[in-house]
Amino acid sequence: MSVGVGITCGGDHWTANQIRAVEELGYDSFWTGEHIIYHRPILEAITTLTYAAALTSRISIGPATLLLPLRHPTMVAKQLSSLDVLSNGRLILTVGVGGDYPREFAACHVPLNERGRRATEAIEIMRKYWSGERFDYAGKIFQLEDVDMLPKPVQPGGPPIWVSGRQDAPMRRAAILGDGWHPYMYTAKRCRESFSKVKAMAQEAGRTLPENYAFACFIYLSLYDDVAEARRRGVAELKYRYNQEFDHLVDKYCAYGPPQRVAEYLTQYIEAGVNYMILAPIMPPDDREAHLERLATHVLPLLKSMEPGRVI
């Protein structure tokens, strides 16, 4: 299995040419972030992905990550099945429970303590809708009677669902219900440990993960020749994105420096078993195409040539 490599806009507004460049430069996918209420400007994910689908024809598109508990599963199943049809089966879905910004849960009238249960039930409900068959559902949160949904997604059974997170609960959700596990803010070592844990959880539940199961990771990178400048830009960008200090964390969670240094950092993840990378480049808004081209020229070929380490 070769390594998939995608680029995320992080919920920022990218121009049509910048989005097209992701496809033209040979990346595999375009992603966007997700928050409804947040401390910084961020676009809504499904709207952004619909725009990206219309601008591209080959690459996959997906949210990294959709905060599933904030949406009713009937509505989000309809939106995502429609997007899969309109993109001709190019949608990949990563879902998480959020909770790091309680104001948005309050604004959406969703209790924080229900978010895990809501996510689990929503995954089950979406898959039932995407079968095209009529069904009933009796959950702790959601109850549905005699419902169905057409048209079905282009992808049989619906878009693949990768579960995102950092703790044991989402790992278990990924192991039992997911088509992939997608951590973020993980070192390569922690990725390797979590992949083995997900595989073991699946086996305990009586499931053998398929060969094409995604072991993904979301990674920031700051591609500048001067290491000090690259690090400084990384700290500033992550502080802006997460509204917290990052000087003590950037060395763990961001690839920074010239191409060779960035490539060496990223190859550790592939050796740890990552078979799909969602990269978040840190770059000036008016210079995105040049940054993406440099990354595609000097780093992407190495990543694509590698075989992911075996998950045991």
pLDDT (0 to 100) of residue 54: 98
Distance CA 73, CA 99 (A): 18
What's the pLDDT tens digit per position in 212-244? 999 999 999 999 999 999 999 999 999 999 999
What's the pLDDT tens digit per position in 289-299? 999 999 999 99
Which structure tokens are listed for 197? 């844990």
Distance CA 144, CA 137 (A): 5
Domains of the chain: 4-305 (3.20.20.30)
Distance CA 87, CA 219 (A): 26
pTM (global) more than 0.85? yes
pLDDT (0 to 100) of residue 2: 87
pLDDT (0 to 100) of residue 1: 73
What's the pLDDT tens digit per position in 57-74? 999 999 999 999 999 999
> CB 101: neighbour CB atoms within 10 A?
17
pLDDT < 50 regions, the chain? none
Percent of the chain at pLDDT above 70? 100
pLDDT (0 to 100) of residue 234: 98
185 dihedral zone (left: phi>0; alpha: psi -120 to 50; beta):
left
Pairing of strands 143-147, 161-165: unpaired
Closest CA to 203 of 311, 51, 106: 311
